[in-house]
Amino acid sequence: MTIAHIQGEEYTIEYEPSSHTVAFRGTVRLQSSDEYAPITELLQTAHSEANTTGQLTLDFRQLQFLNSSGISMISKFVISGRKQDRVPLRVMGNQEIYWQQKSLANLQKLWPKVVIEIL
């Protein structure tokens, strides 16, 4: 069964299988990799399912804050995608949310094929 929705106190993460988009909303301040495990699992599932049809999109446009543990989790996911090199990755951010401009752009340094769109 595909996990399509994760709800926390201050955040929601939803996976839309038909468009292969994972949308992040709110503020994510989890403290450890164990706490991020369900999100990592959702990303891995989305990546596996996108493997058959093309691109996976990570949409951060409505994510106000992601702590360093979360940025590390996303970075590890991008590195994993680079190693497999099967599914193109598109990352969408919001230019009005300051942390996204730098942190999301850094993902391209980890994998130059990542398409970054800061709108």
Percent of the chain with pLDDT over 90: 88
Confidence of residue 2 (pLDDT cuts 50, 70, 90): low
Question: What mean pLDDT comes out for the span 60-79?
Answer: 98
Q: Are 89 and 55 spatial neighbours (Cβ–Cβ below 8 Å)? A: yes
Largest Cα separation within the chain, whole Å, is 36
Segment among 14-28, 30-44, 47-61, 78-92 with least mean pLDDT: 47-61
Taking Cα atoms as reference points, which of 103, 105, 102 lies closest to residue 117? 105
The DSSP letter of residue 9 is S
Pick the CATH number of 5-118 from 2.30.40.10, 2.60.120.10, 3.90.550.10, 3.30.750.24: 3.30.750.24
Q: What is the mean pLDDT of the chain?
A: 94
Question: What mean pLDDT comes out for the span 99-112?
Answer: 95
- pLDDT for res 54: 82
Q: Which residues of 61-92 are buried (b: 16+ CB within 10 A; e: fewer)?
A: bebbebeeebbebbbebbeebeeeeebebebb
User: Is the predicted pLDDT of residue 7 greater than 80, yes or no?
Assistant: yes
Q: What 3-state DSSP class applies to 58?
A: strand
- Which has the higher per-residue pLDDT, 18 or 91? 91
What does the angle CA 5 – CA 89 – CA 112 come to, to the nearest 5 degrees? Answer: 145
User: Is the predicted pLDDT of residue 53 greater than 80, yes or no?
Assistant: no
* Domain ranges for the chain: 5-118
Separation of alpha carbons 70 and 32, rounded Å? 9
User: Is the predicted pLDDT of residue 51 greater than 90, yes or no?
Assistant: no
Taking Cα atoms as reference points, which of 16, 13, 12 lies closest to residue 2? 16
- pLDDT for res 1: 45
